Amino acid sequence: MATLSTNTMATVIATFPELLTAEQVAELLGVSAATVSRWGALREHGEDVGPPCYTLSDRVRRWDAVEVRAWLRQVRR
């Protein structure tokens, strides 16, 4: 089994996206976690609502903090 060097591991960690839970996204946006979760479910069905998310399983979604901030700038009025 190969192991990663300390420098390689640091690079992987530095480039890996900061993934947020629905609760964390809700706090950033000032909406409920239920709303954020609903947006994620609607996105899975092709709706373009809320920030993009990653569906990790039937019950687990995560949002990339950079993508959430970019989405917020895009929808700002």
Using one digit for the tens of pLDDT, what is the confidence trace for 15-43?
778 999 999 999 999 999 999 999 999 99
Rounded Cα gap, residues 38 and 28, in angstroms:
16
Q: Would residue 12 count as lying in a domain?
A: no
Number of domains in the chain: 1
Residue 1 lies in a domain: no
Residue 13 domain flag = no
Per the structure, the complete domain to which residue 36 belongs is given by: 18-75
In-domain check, residue 11: no
In a domain, 22, yes or no: yes
Stated pTM of the model: 0.77
Q: Are 63 and 23 in contact (CB under 8 A)?
A: no
Per-residue pLDDT reduced to its tens digit, 57-73: 988 999 999 999 999 99
Q: Cα–Cα distances in Å, from 68 out to 1, 4, 5, 58?
A: 36, 30, 32, 21
Q: Looking at residue 37, which CATH number applies to its domain?
A: 1.10.10
Residue 6 lies in a domain: no
